[in-house]
Structure 1
Amino acid sequence: MSEEPDLATDTKKGAQALIGFVSTEVQLLIAGDPFIRQTNIDRVCKLHPVYASIIEDTISLTLLARDYRINNSYIIVRALLERLVNFCYLQFCEQSEFDSYLTYSKSKAVRRLDRTIEGGSSQASVRWSGVVDWASHPDLKAAYDKFTSINGREITRWTKVSLPDRAGLVESNTPRASLLLPLLMIYSDASEALHGTLYGSLFHLGTYDIGTVPYDQASLLKTTFSHSSALALMAGGAVNTLMRMCAMIRVPSFDDLAKQSTENLRSVSTAVGLLPMRKSNSPSNRDAPTSGESVS
């Protein structure tokens, strides 16, 4: 139990502590950016734009969460998790999968030149007025063909491996990593918010929390702080997994960054009562929470 019960995850101070933890993870991500960009590990440096997007998503989360914009925070964390899972998965997958990921981007670039959408009797189209010399860009033509079905329709996914299976591969290759729990806690609700359903517009208010639906301002605030804390813990724990994975595959400087990230996670988890206070001479209290375990 935490020595300061007012830092519980359903309190303002507890939520703020966890949001602060995510802010410290942002600084570690930024510190690691030049090493991702300049490393001689081919798959890592080629995915630097994805890493940069992870930084942007994490910054966006801190800005939204500070004002308790919970619904939009779920959407941002969904994007963060998918990018992060992909970045990690692509370090362990078969070369054909990695190549498919890169090729898919080229196919999307080609398709942007001529786009059409239909609904009922209506249609909207956008077409580039220029001319492409496809003979000079055989890689673009090949990419387009790869992601076009035999019926001439666009293939809209770069992989046949589901997101949970991608996360599972990362977990099986990175000791004590945790990505499936954040996906379970965040992804489905965030998708409902993105799809504009009634559930997606109300879930973060506790409307569908059977048995614990908020009944006054105080209980509504507790729900808000609980969601904010969960978002921060899941996002921060996932970033910790990313740090640990980069350290494991020997991206320069990430060993130190991963250790600092782990210490940040343990410290805030203890402060909000998710971990017992560590005893100075007891190694038994060194385990990090399941939602974001990391290297010692």
Structure 2
Amino acid sequence: MQLNLILLFALCSLNANSAEDLLELGCITNAQCQQFEGGHCHDSSCVCVARGSKERIACQPKDKKLTNIIGGPCPCTQPHAECDTKMQQCFCADNYMASEDRRRCLPLQVPLDGACELSRQCQRADTFAVCQLSQKRCICRDHFEQQQGRCLALLDLSCNNNTHCDHIGASICLPQAMKCACIPDYVPNHNMTGCVTGVGLDSNCTTPAQCQLQLGAGSTCRDNRCTCRIKHYLKNDQNRKSAVCEPLVPYGAYCRRTEDCQQHQPDVESRVQDSRMQCLRGECQCRAEFRVVDNQRCVLDTSAANPRYKLFAPLSMLIFWPIYYYV
């Protein structure tokens, strides 16, 4: 019976918190326990007592340092960061996104000429905009020209005034570029001589821009069909009231909700939402039944590769076999 209890305790310990989640309470001298409020060393372990009494309490560090990482514990000191009181973690407020170093909250959408760090910020305002890294501002990408706050697609036709573009249809003359350009919601055809409307997923196309009008910058025209680019997936966009192609999120990336975590898998179609990851402590991590490979992607964790399963099988036999034996 005693052996069964010992083995049962060992089995339960498998589900305990990992070492990095626990406070280091081992000690030899009282000095090693000074990091805790009311701490002193007793029987090689730090114990803590309430101030002004001898009542033992759970040990807590004296220094409660403020986090400087988005996804870290509250309180939150970064501008536009807020504390999720249920999870006690710092996240960027609505309409903001974490910077690549996760130390700042950036505006989710930036208009043309606005300050930016990532092209995604610009493309939420205009699909055909990018972030110019040297000046860190949103500009129109190549072959597009800014006109009244929009990026208009240039045609391969010269002009001095609008009358030179009238025969094309759905176009105007941009005097600065001295070229005809498609009006908003139109893009050039494959030979840059006329303007065509955007098309949706799986529709016939001749240029990527046709797909990007409806599916966003993460889409392309492949085999004359609109689809998401590699390492992108189809996501419903409430602002556009339609689906757009968004970048897949890598393992370890910042997240606020589990639906923020999407990962490319060779055996998963780009339009199928992948559920191999979950958002845990502000990062996309593998679910319990998966394991990370190359610190990039999650693959199914088979029983042969799972050390917990290896230990669980023999332990479960030892624990429950005597019960069956004596019944």
TM-score range for the pair, normalised by the shorter chain length = under 0.3
Q: Which has the larger share of helix? A: 1
TM-score by length of 1: 0.25
The structure whose RCO (Cα within 8 Å, separation 6+) is larger is: 1
Structure 1 or 2, whichever has the larger Rg, is 2
TM-score by length of 2: 0.24
